Structure 1
């Protein structure tokens, strides 16, 4: 049985190892196919990052990880919340507008803005939850549509009520005293690690506690595995769907908050799109595990930050990094399924041998 346990550990490590190898091979083939040097690409990607890139990796990891946790809450319930993009877009605009209006000042302004971001993100996700529970509309379809509506609506509101500066438009700047700066690990020119990056830590710990230490987390996992079984045990599946969607949206509302109060100071051209879709990819990559998603978020943040070096040191397009990220997600999903089936067959053989041995001993 000790050998069997070691074999199980080896199988658990086999899936990510296969994914890494496949990602490297496919990326190398693509780079060679477009006439560039794979050696230059990997040399640039694995070179020692500059201090400013290290700071950027930490900041990006915080936002990507928060997004991944938001996606994982839906996945655990068996829901595919593809609307993270629209949810944190609406939440970021609402929080930036409130903070810029300066109805209150200092940390109270920051705290209320964070609450507004959570509420708006939850409300926007709740629309898809209501449509799912009352009309049976797939959350995939409704959240895709809500993403488009959010982009159009926020664009109109910013253009209508925002501050126009030449060809750019933004919300009112947050007062300097209401910004939450971080700390400078290197020189000032290398930037700061945002103080509100701590949100990612709190969200990750909260996610683990929620799933493993609360009745709601048990109901969430039970409903995600079998809605009929959860209903038979007294859990209301429709309520769980709505609450899970709103909880996922509420966490999504916090995605861009470290950047808003750390450096951006307003919603406008500095807003970073795409974090919602990155979070979905990282949640898949990390298998919805808090630790797994952390490694995935660090990997994606590192690849994105290091891709800037490709522009200066090679003739390879930074878009190749997106191919690497996409292949990594697909490879992980496929390799985990292959290894799962292999493990199931292995366990069946072990059980069959033990049963045969037990029957032989009693004969």
Structure 2
């Protein structure tokens, strides 16, 4: 019971605090907080909003799981944005240049995205393992490099369609059919995010590798003493993180656009870090965070239509990220104090935090 309280209470407190903060901002700006909140909720039932939320949440979930794998052993993979976009670009190029049977074509595209994402993150992993370069620095630099590389690839392998330059269109044999929902269509590869989540949960809870991953994050020294190869863990964790990040753009490419353009979605990688933090790296918590983040993204559009500044959503998202860190620390200290009191009662002493006796 205490474990679930420790997991659920901090995000709930963070969201509540953020709502209060944004309500104050709305009041100061002359807007009606109740009207804005009602509009955010009501928009879910209109048109294709539900499908749009699920589609965006699927991409958010994949990048957040990629971030969570790194967080499990205290690796900060800032390069998820570059891995996500480069994997999507390479997958679209390969998909547009091949002619394969249905099913196999889409599978090759998916594998290409995963392999390219893994290879790009593998550069940072190798630099960390063999040269001691911080993954934070190397992945930030790789993000910048990916921008130029993507522009080069689109120019060399792409073509102009109207005012937009993009890769060759993927033939229909490489498309993944969607699922009609409400007034929209959910990308078929959103189910890939579900599969990744199930696999991540099984890996962390049911396999030796998951145990070693957690152990390496909690205490690298103890893990090393227990026979865990730290180099192998860093390499495999970064490769796995990059591979999942490389999948995040494929639902959109194979389900709707069938090409990678220079205007392809961006910002998912950095949002994934925040969502993983909000979900505490737990597969269900991350799923909730992805849905919440996607819901807020769509809310910015509807708020703009009723005269409420859409930037209020950005404030809300930023406040959630900042306050969730504080909330987790407050709850952790509260749980620690409660545990010390229970131990004190069991020992017949009035133990208090800090080791003193009353």
Q: Which interval holds the TM-score relative to the shorter structure?
A: over 0.9
CA-CA distance at 1:353 after TM superposition: 1.4
Please tell me whether residue 39 in structure 1 is matched to residue 54 in structure 2.
no
CA-CA distance at 1:88 after TM superposition: 1.0
Please tell me whether residue 316 in structure 1 is matched to residue 308 in structure 2.
yes
Aligned length: 349
CA-CA distance at 1:180 after TM superposition: 1.0
Where 1:184 maps in the other structure, the secondary structure is strand
Match of 1:212 among 188, 197, 205: 205
Equivalent residues of 2:36, 2:303 under 8 A apart: yes
Equivalent residues of 2:6, 2:331 under 8 A apart: yes
Distance in structure 1 (CA, Å) of the matches to 2:225 and 2:75: 20
1:361 maps to what in 2? none
- Alpha-carbon deviations, 1:136-169, whole Å to 9, x = none? 1111111111011001110122123310134310
**Unpaired stretches in structure 1, ≥5 consecutive residues:** 359-363
Equivalent residues of 2:100, 2:173 under 8 A apart: no
2:237 maps to what in 1? 244
Distance 1:217 1:177, change over 3 A: same
Worse overlay, 99-108 or 346-355: 99-108
Equivalent residues of 1:264, 1:270 under 8 A apart: no
Aligned 1:1-363 pairs, distance under 5 A: 12-49=7-44, 50-186=46-182, 190-269=183-262, 271-312=264-305, 314-356=306-348
Worse overlay, 96-105 or 343-352: 96-105
Distance 1:19 1:315, change over 3 A: same
Equivalent residues of 1:282, 1:296 under 8 A apart: yes
CA-CA distance at 1:289 after TM superposition: 0.3
Distance 1:333 1:357, change over 3 A: closer
- Alpha-carbon deviations, 1:55-100, whole Å to 9, x = none? 1011111111111111100000110001100001110011000101
Give the TM-score normalised by the residue count of structure 1. 0.92
Give the TM-score normalised by the residue count of structure 2. 0.93
Equivalent residues of 1:180, 1:196 under 8 A apart: yes
Equivalent residues of 2:43, 2:49 under 8 A apart: no
Distance in structure 1 (CA, Å) of the matches to 2:161 and 2:94: 20
Distance in structure 1 (CA, Å) of the matches to 2:217 and 2:140: 21
Equivalent residues of 1:53, 1:306 under 8 A apart: no
CA-CA distance at 1:260 after TM superposition: 0.6
